[in-house]
Chain A
């Protein structure tokens, strides 16, 4: 049994079983730890967390959360097993109201508990309350990201996984989102995120995994990796220019 809160071992996954994109990646996240996954385009960063979330099938390897095997759990059962996933795009239902989006996040619980969790979410994200009955399509990119995170937190997950939470946001919004995530970590939740915005993500996270061509390349404390000449040359350089 693993001693880490979350552990993925030798995961092989992809959109098609005969074409694995992730070819044996391992990683772990401890309680109240913030971990970033970076890497060049096509490294399989998003594929990795999609596979963990059950959106893509895992053909071999194992994923455990708090000692429980969740490798082949169906996607909808993930929400109830303390793992939440925020996709990069289309992460809110634009045709539904903010309140309906939040209620959906609590689909796995009985109604009274769901309503209680939704009202807690409004306490945590008061800005959303003003838009309660508005359709999510009126929200800005930053507000959508906030709604997506609020929705993911409804189930009180141990681990929240985010796919490029800073994508498409203004620099000010980016630091706001990261500060929010940092607060979450301080409250005991673990965060695993994929980021193109490598520099900013490494500044806020404890550890970083660098993936390349579907495999682990380097990993270690973010502060040390940020100084690593290889990482700077290959990944931070490219990521920095993008932004």
Chain B
């Protein structure tokens, strides 16, 4: 039970990181971006590529399975994922934005997601890959609870990312502009905010967090071109549970989805695990369609 809780928190924190980026872009750009999950795949593989270029492995840091190159690769991957997101925005989403039919842009994001996944498949191949082959010894934290040092690292990175994002949104002018844009784009422009600049930064932040989530997923599970695709629906579930546009909601939503998945094995056969986020999603949509932390205001702003 304790072990399932820990596993749930771990999966949940990775989902949360991906969901934050998705909720930010959905809140500000006002469309469901299905390509967001592929940012996770792209980021994970860019880090793999960066590590391959950096050459032979350096000694692992402490009890972790990886060394400094992975951390450097994570930063490089965040940069490369941001570049990809900005390119997609420039080539695909921006020309379609503001069209009378909102579904055009949503479907184009499906197309983009397929394209990105296939490019990853083409470059890196379809078999599972790992950042490191170093074997790790699980540390017993409590009776019946063992965690890998890497898993503690994952949790640490998630906490640092969430806390820094919170301070960025609350304390900086750009963060304030992002919150303003999410509520009312026209009024934001009237206030003198250049919304194009804010949108660009939103892509950079969302893509960077997705890329970090990808690396963390690759670190704790494995790298496959489908990781983004498999996370897509849990991400959307987390965003909707937390309320679109709500960063804190996305974190809680991610944890709920992660925990529900891992705890469900006590109640239903493990093969049904993937259906759990949907059951929660259905319940939330039925009881409180704006999400747990969503305001009625955001719901009105499609």
Contact = CB atoms under 8 A, between A and B. Distances in A.
Interface of A: 53-55, 74-80, 85, 87, 90-96, 100, 103-108, 111, 151, 155
B186 A55 contact: yes
Contacts of A55: 186, 189-190
Given A90-B184, A107-B177, A111-B173, A95 B297 contact: yes
Contacts of B295: 95
Contact of A93 (B173, B187, B195): B187
B192 A79 contact: yes
Given A74-B194, A75-B190, 11 more contacts: A75-B189, A76-B195, A91-B187, A92-B187, A95-B295, A95-B297, A96-B176, A96-B180, A100-B176, A100-B180, A103-B176
B179 interface: yes
Contacts, number: 69
B176 A104 contact: yes
Contacts of B195: 76
A184 B173 CA distance: 29
Query: Which DSSP category, helix, strand, loop or mixed, fits chain B's interface?
Result: helix
A90 B192 contact: no
Q: Which of B179, B186, B187, B192 has the most CB of A within 10 A?
A: B192
5 contacts: A55-B189, A95-B179, A96-B176, A100-B176, A107-B192
Nearest to A85: B190
Interface of B: 173, 176-177, 179-180, 183-184, 186-195, 295, 297
Contacts of B177: 104, 107
A100 B172 CA distance: 11
Given A104-B177, A107-B173, A93 B184 contact: yes
B190 A103 contact: no
Contacts of B190: 53, 55, 75, 78-79, 85, 87
B30 to A, nearest CB: 15
Contacts of B194: 74, 76
A55 B193 CA distance: 13
B183 A104 contact: no
A126 to B, nearest CB: 22
Contacts of A106: 192
The 6 closest A-B pairs by CB, nearest first: A79-B192, A108-B192, A75-B189, A107-B192, A104-B191, A76-B194
Q: Which of B176, B188, B297 has the most CB of A within 10 A?
A: B176
Contact of B192 (A76, A91, A94, A95): A76
B192 A93 contact: no
A155 B193 CA distance: 13
Nearest to B182: A95
A79 B297 CA distance: 26
